[in-house]
Amino acid sequence: MPGRGTPEGTLDLLILRILAVRGPLHGYAVTQLIQQSSADLLRIEEGSLYPALHRMAQAGWIKGRWGATETNRQARFYAITAAGRRQLAAEERAWTRLAEGVARVLRFA
Amino acid sequence: MSWFRRLSNVFRGDRLSDDLDRELAFHIAAEADALEARGVPRADAEREARRRFGHRATLKERTRDADVLGWLEALVADLRYGVRSLGAAPLLSLVTILSLALGIGANTAIFSLTDALLLRPLPVAHPEQLRKLTMGSPDEDEFTNPLWERIRDRKELFAGAFAYGTDRFDLSTGGIERPAPAAWVSGAMFQVLGVRAAAGRLILPDDDVRGCAGVAVVSAGFAEREFGDAGRAVGRLLTLDGHAMQVVGVTDPDFFGLSVGRTADIYVPLCAQELFNGAGVLDQRSRWYLSVVVRPDPSLGDAQFLARLRAAAPAVFAATVPPNFSADQQKKYAAGTLGAEPAATGMSDLRGRYAPALYILMALVGVVLVIACANIANLLRARGAARQREIAVRLALGAGRWRVVRQLLTESLLLALLGAAAGVLFASWASRAVVGFLSLGPASVWLDLSLDGRVLAFTAAVTVLTALLFGMAPAWRATRVDPQAALKAGGRGAVGDARHRLGRGLVVLQVALSLALVAASGLLLGSFRRLVTLDPGFRREGLLLVRMDFGVAGYKDSQLVAVKTEALRRVRAIPGVSAAGASLLTPMSGMGWNEFALVPGYSPADARDSLIWMNEVSDGFFAAYGTALRHGRDLRGSEMGTTAHVAVINETAARHFFAGVDPIGRSFRLHGGKGDSAPFEVVGVVQDAKYRQLDEKPVPTAYVPLGQGPFAVPAATYALRTGSPAAVTAAVRASAASLNPAISLGVTTMESQVARSIARPRLLATLSAFFGAVALLLAVVGLYGTISYSVTRRRNEIGVRMALGAGRQQVLGLVVGDAAWLIAGGIVTGALLAFAGTRLLASMLYDVSPADPATFALSALVMAAAGTAAALLPARRAARLDPMEALRE
């Protein structure tokens, strides 16, 4: 699916990007990383995170697997797939277009 | 792929839930760890982590939504709940499923009969391409052999063409006949239809040339019955009407010929007719008996094909003009045209006769189903009222109304599916039973009743419609609930509409439809009864009919009268036979012979007006049948086979042709193709007697002595009046065998012959009576249920009335009076419906008008009585109420 440029699309973009760069992570780590990377500007609600993770898993962009953390707890790790990488590229393009469009309106409107 | 995974996840239920729990539990634990690392005590950290996580149940649901197909999961849950729900009320569920089985089953049965007789295409290659040739209108579909041969030669019009004519062969070589249905076919038939052989080979074009020795192909069923299996049939010899013919092959088991409803057991090429009926039969230009079926050239469109047919017609007809026609008749003949009709569903003599009856039956069973649905709707509505609390709880917890309605509808669908499953079983039994019934007619009936796509689709559609019909209204009504009121401790709270209009309306509908059905069945029963008890002009009981075929024993034209009269003499000598007579034709045999009569002094209005029906009879014929002689004398034995042309006519003929004048001594001629006959002198007048059908109006009939008719017929039927048919049958067989062992005999009784001729009215009367009774029962049960429920709800009110001084009688009157309104409303509506609807029965009724007041009045009376009885039971219960108990409610 080409990039949607929606809030849902934006969330997917962030998650895919994190997973692409940092490798397989569990849900908690993803929220922590997004918070840190954005210097606390962005914070994902758990209520949106898990539905999004499961949805993307069903769509085939990420793949979930049970694994053990450093503290030897059982957690579900998600890794990006090839299809996910393609979707990431599409979402990045969509986001860039959106940002550019908003910037132009703000400048010229 | 993801769709499939989401589908299978619906059935992984608990494991999915556990996985999700663990995943979320980890997140909370990780958060708690992080907080603990910052110095928050463990217990507080965990609490804070959980709080931050948010509402877990909602989160779980939303996550789960991504993992499963929501609607399917809801459906599965509804079905599980529905099954538990039905199990909680087993009696109600059972009653409902049985009523549905009966209703849906009956509809499926009648539809599968309709499908088999009217809609199913022949089991041949590309039946939709086949066309039946006609001479203009669809009814003119029988051709002579010369016409067929001319048509066959016009090869440029067809990719394939063949001719087919039905007949009957006697397989015996003397003694009791063994009839087998058969067909004369042209050489190309099996090829054009693409029929395969199960053994041996089928008839080929080379088998159908003039002068052929004749071969036979048999059906698979026949081969099994006669020889054990198909393989053993090839090479065996059959005796067909005394002629030996070798079996060269067996057809595929699916193929039954071209006549839907019948099977052809033996197929013989057309050319072989010369062996049976003499040389020249193939050139007879007035013998119309062949159906011609073609596969048009596929490159031609329908309109083109018809145009070419019409263009070819003049040449075809001109070459086959019958020389014995008058100049006028010849001109008419030569102007004949050719047309074509679709023949994918083959031909059928049964169709015309039974199609209207089937439509009537479909309407009847449809009405029964509607009545059953109304009953079930009422039952479910009452049950819905009992489930008020459960539904109120669900609504209060946040379920949408539509969601609850969907769940209730799923329960209805479940009931309907279970009913349909049982119904299909019932239908397969019932439709076979009806075919068995139809076989009580003149010939046995065979229909392919296997379930095909159309029947299954029909059943599925009926099931879903039924579920909606009886489920929608109660479901809607049940969810129209104020949760607060329903949940109050009293429990009796909200009951929707205090006067429960829906329930009462349904009962009125049931009574109305029921009355209409009862009236219809009353009419059909009355009509059948009249047929059975009418006076046919002869005494049908105690009359044994023995048909003797002398042709297969080798007797030729000039010897026939002598042997027939000799046989009559012997048969009269049998002890136990009080009277005997011989004739060419018997009443209600399906066969007839008519001529145009030329009566000096009578000028006919048109050709039809001079039609007279004929029979060749012996002396003593009328005495044997019990037909009264009105004037003059019977025929004499000495007149048989002579040129002393005399005749006995019936009262109608006397009135019609000799109005007012005494016909004795007058004479008439028969107008025929070969010229007019010699004059027949009228010597007697007999009572009118039925000729072809029990329900016909009297027709002019003339009886001439044996051998004085224009054709030499090799068979005759002997009517023996006797009280001991079995013993006499044995004696007749012995007697015929001693005369000539090769004579073949067919034995039946006049009673059974008449009974067979009214198979259709019997079928309609029996089935409509059955369904009428079912409808009445359903309506009574429905009425009982509604009044009962009404009494339950009005206990308080009745208690008050009784406390204020009302006696038992008054309470009875109150309840029954309430019911009386419903019954009266139903009867009035029903009478109007019946009046409009029974008009459709008019063609099936004998001697009774579709609006017969006696039948309607009786039906109304029956309904009123049944309804009152149904209302009395709850009424008596109400009258026995203890006012103190009732008021405590």
Task: Give residue-wise pLDDT tens across range B439-486.
Answer: 877 777 888 888 888 999 999 999 999 998 888 888 887 777 777 766
C-alpha distance from B80 to closest chain A C-alpha (Å)? 27
Domain count, chain B: 4
Spell out the alpha helix ranges (H) of B649-758.
651-657, 725-739, 750-757
Is the pLDDT assigned to residue B854 strictly greater than 90?
A: yes
Q: What is the pLDDT of residue A1?
A: 47
Regarding whether B522 and B396 lie in a shared domain, the answer is yes
Cα(A51)–Cα(B59) distance, integer angstroms: 8
- Cβ-contact B341, B130 below 8 angstroms: no
- Cβ-contact B538, B626 below 8 angstroms: yes
Which residues in chain B have Cβ-Cβ distances shorter than 8 Å to A51? 59, 62-63, 65-66
With cut-offs at 50, 70 and 90, classify the pLDDT of residue B594: confident
Of B344, B364, B394, the residue that ends a domain is B344
Q: What is the pLDDT of residue B873?
A: 87
Task: Identify whether A83 is part of a domain.
Answer: yes
Regarding whether B630 and B561 lie in a shared domain, the answer is yes
With cut-offs at 50, 70 and 90, classify the pLDDT of residue B491: very low
C-alpha distance from B46 to closest chain A C-alpha (Å)? 15
Which residues in chain B have Cβ-Cβ distances shorter than 8 Å to A55? 66
Percentage, residues of chain B above pLDDT 70: 98
Regarding whether B608 and B577 lie in a shared domain, the answer is yes
For residue B465, what is the enclosing H or E element?
Answer: helix B453-478
**Coarse DSSP helix, strand, coil percentages of chain A, rounded to the nearest 5 percent:** 60, 15, 25
Cα(B614)–Cα(B637) distance, integer angstroms: 19
C-alpha distance from B63 to closest chain A C-alpha (Å)? 4
Q: What average pLDDT does this structure show over B321-330?
A: 80
Backbone φ and ψ of B706, nearest 5°: -55, 135
Regarding whether B377 and B499 lie in a shared domain, the answer is yes
The ipTM (two decimal places) reads 0.85
Residue B131 corresponds to which amino acid? R
Q: Do B66 and A55 touch (CB under 8 A)?
A: yes
Strand blocks (E) in B259-325: 266-269, 291-296
With cut-offs at 50, 70 and 90, classify the pLDDT of residue B674: low
Is the pLDDT assigned to residue B496 strictly greater than 70?
A: no
Q: What number of C-beta contacts closer than 8 Å exist between A and B?
A: 60
- CA-CA-CA-CA dihedral for B876, B879, B884, B889, to nearest 10: 60
Task: Identify whether B112 is part of a domain.
Answer: no
Is the pLDDT assigned to residue A3 strictly greater than 70?
A: no
Domain count, chain A: 1
Of A51, A58, A60, the CB nearest to B6: A58
Q: What average pLDDT does this structure show over B121-147?
A: 90
Which residues in chain A have Cβ-Cβ distances shorter than 8 Å to B65? 51
Q: What is the pLDDT of residue B847?
A: 87
Q: What is the pLDDT of residue B489?
A: 54
Q: What average pLDDT does this structure show over B788-797?
A: 82
pLDDT tens figures, A59-88: 889 999 999 888 888 899 999 999 999 999
Regarding whether B365 and B340 lie in a shared domain, the answer is no
A17 touches chain B (CB under 8 A): no
Is the pLDDT assigned to residue B435 strictly greater than 60?
A: yes
Closest-CA residue in chain B for A64? Answer: B23
C-alpha distance from B45 to closest chain A C-alpha (Å)? 16
List strands edge to edge, sheet with A62-68.
Answer: A25-26, A74-80, A62-68
Q: What average pLDDT does this structure show over B862-872?
A: 92
Closest-CA residue in chain A for B66? Answer: A55
Taking every pair of Cα atoms in chain B, the longest distance, rounded to a whole number of angstroms, is 138
DSSP B119: I
Regarding whether B711 and B599 lie in a shared domain, the answer is yes
Of B26, B58, B66, the CB nearest to A74: B26
Cα dist. B395→B67, B84, B486 in Å? 26, 20, 11
Cα(B53)–Cα(B55) distance, integer angstroms: 7
A73 touches chain B (CB under 8 A): yes
**B407 exposure class (CB count in 10 Å sphere: 0-12, 13-18, 19+):** buried
Task: Identify whether A73 is part of a domain.
Answer: yes
Taking every pair of Cα atoms in chain A, the longest distance, rounded to a whole number of angstroms, is 56
Task: Identify whether B107 is part of a domain.
Answer: no
- CA-CA-CA-CA dihedral for B821, B825, B830, B836, to nearest 10: 160
Closest-CA residue in chain B for A51? Answer: B63
Each residue of B656-670: b (16+ CB within 10 Å) or e?
bbbeeeebbebbbbb
Is the pLDDT assigned to residue B493 strictly greater than 60?
A: no
- Residue B867: HSE in the Cβ half-sphere, 13 Å Cα cutoff: 30
Cα(A4)–Cα(B564) distance, integer angstroms: 100
Residues 6+ apart with CB under 8 A from B176: B733, B744, B745, B746, B747
Reduced to 3 states (helix: H, G, I; strand: E, B; else coil), residue B7 is helix
Residues 6+ apart with CB under 8 A from B653: B612, B663, B700, B701, B702
Regarding whether B475 and B571 lie in a shared domain, the answer is no
Tokens of residue B790, six digits: 């009404």
Cα(B98)–Cα(B110) distance, integer angstroms: 18
Regarding whether B597 and B561 lie in a shared domain, the answer is yes
List the domain range (segments joined by +) for residue A35. Answer: 7-104
Is the pLDDT assigned to residue B177 strictly greater than 60?
A: yes
**B299 exposure class (CB count in 10 Å sphere: 0-12, 13-18, 19+):** exposed
Residue B693 corresponds to which amino acid? Q
- Rg of the Cα atoms in chain A: 15
Q: What average pLDDT does this structure show over A16-43?
A: 88
Through-space distance between the first and last CA atoms of chain A, rounded to whole angstroms:
31
pLDDT tens figures, B705-756: 998 888 788 899 999 999 999 999 999 999 999 999 989 899 999 999 998 8
From B264, B63, B673, select the one nearest A76 (Cα to Cα): B63
Cα(B702)–Cα(B685) distance, integer angstroms: 9
Regarding whether B709 and B636 lie in a shared domain, the answer is yes
Task: Identify whether A2 is part of a domain.
Answer: no
From B766, B757, B620, select the one nearest B686 (Cα to Cα): B620
Of B742, B773, B806, the residue that ends a domain is B742
Q: What is the pLDDT of residue B624?
A: 95
A8 touches chain B (CB under 8 A): no
Output the average pLDDT for chain B.
Answer: 88
Tokens of residue B462, six digits: 């009926």
List the domain range (segments joined by +) for residue B397. Answer: 352-532+759-887
Regarding whether B313 and B202 lie in a shared domain, the answer is yes
Q: Do B66 and A74 touch (CB under 8 A)?
A: no
Tell which A residues from 80 to 99 touch B, by Cβ distance under 8 Å: none
Is the pLDDT assigned to residue A36 strictly greater than 90?
A: no
Residue B635 corresponds to which amino acid? L
Task: Identify whether A85 is part of a domain.
Answer: yes
CATH of the domain at A43: 1.10.10.10
Q: Do B63 and A75 touch (CB under 8 A)?
A: no
Question: Model pTM?
Answer: 0.81
pLDDT tens figures, B380-431: 877 777 787 888 888 888 888 888 888 888 989 999 999 999 999 999 999 9
Q: What is the pLDDT of residue B108?
A: 94
Is the pLDDT assigned to residue A6 strictly greater than 70?
A: no
Task: Identify whether A91 is part of a domain.
Answer: yes
Task: Identify whether B803 is part of a domain.
Answer: yes
Percentage, residues of chain B above pLDDT 90: 44
Tokens of residue B863, six digits: 């309904």
Could you identify the residue written with the tokens 């709707």? B377
Mutate to test the interface with A, among B3, B6, B22, B26 (most CBs of A within 10 A): B26
Regarding whether B356 and B340 lie in a shared domain, the answer is no
Q: What average pLDDT does this structure show over B71-96?
A: 86
C-alpha distance from A46 to closest chain B C-alpha (Å)? 6
Q: What is the pLDDT of residue B400?
A: 83
Is the pLDDT assigned to residue B889 strictly greater than 70?
A: no
Closest-CA residue in chain A for B63? Answer: A51
Please provide the size of chain A in residues: 109
Cα dist. A45→B206, B310, B481 in Å? 88, 83, 38
Through-space distance between the first and last CA atoms of chain B, rounded to whole angstroms:
60
Tell which A residues from 42 to 71 touch B, by Cβ distance under 8 Å: 45-47, 50-51, 54-55, 58-60, 69, 71
Cα(B165)–Cα(B289) distance, integer angstroms: 6
Q: What average pLDDT does this structure show over B787-797?
A: 82
Regarding whether B285 and B150 lie in a shared domain, the answer is yes
DSSP B300: S
Of B344, B370, B404, the residue that ends a domain is B344
Residue B781 corresponds to which amino acid? V
Q: What is the pLDDT of residue B495?
A: 47
C-alpha distance from B52 to closest chain A C-alpha (Å)? 9
Q: What is the pLDDT of residue B497?
A: 47
Q: What average pLDDT does this structure show over B668-690?
A: 87
Q: Do B1 and A60 touch (CB under 8 A)?
A: yes
Q: Which residues of B touch A (CB under 8 A)?
A: 1-2, 5-6, 19, 22-24, 26-27, 29-31, 33-34, 52-55, 58-59, 62-67
Task: Identify whether B869 is part of a domain.
Answer: yes
